[in-house]
Amino acid sequence: MSAQIYFISGIDTGIGKTFATGFLAKTLAEQQQKVITQKLIQTGNVDVSEDLEKHREIMATGWLPEDHEKLTMPEIFTYPASPHLASELDGREIDFAKINAATETLAQRYDVVLLEGAGGLMVPLTRRLLTIDFVKQQGYPVVLVSSGRLGSINHTLLSLEALKARQIPLYALAYNLNDDSQDEIIAKDTRQLLKAYLAEHFPDTVWIDVPVLVA
Dihedral, CA of residue 72, residue 67, residue 95 and residue 138, to nearest 10: -20
Tell whether residue 17 is among the known ligand binding residues.
Answer: yes
Tell whether residue 14 is among the known ligand binding residues.
Answer: yes
Decide if 136 is catalytic.
no
Tell whether residue 47 is among the known ligand binding residues.
Answer: yes
The catalytically annotated residue of 26, 34, 39, 188 is 39
Closest among 14, 1, 9 to 181, alpha carbons compared = 14
Tell whether residue 12 is among the known ligand binding residues.
Answer: no
113 neighbors 36 (Cβ within 8 angstroms): yes
Residues whose CB falls within 8 Å of the CB of residue 109, separated by 6 or more in sequence, listed in order: 3, 34, 36, 66
Tell whether residue 15 is among the known ligand binding residues.
Answer: yes
Tell whether residue 19 is among the known ligand binding residues.
Answer: yes
What is the layout of strands, in order, in the sheet containing 170-176? Answer: 35-39, 112-120, 4-10, 142-147, 170-176, 206-210
Enzyme catalytic residues = 39
Binding-site residue set for ATP:
14-19, 47, 116-119
Binding-site residue set:
14-19, 43, 47, 116-119
Binding-site residue set for substrate:
43
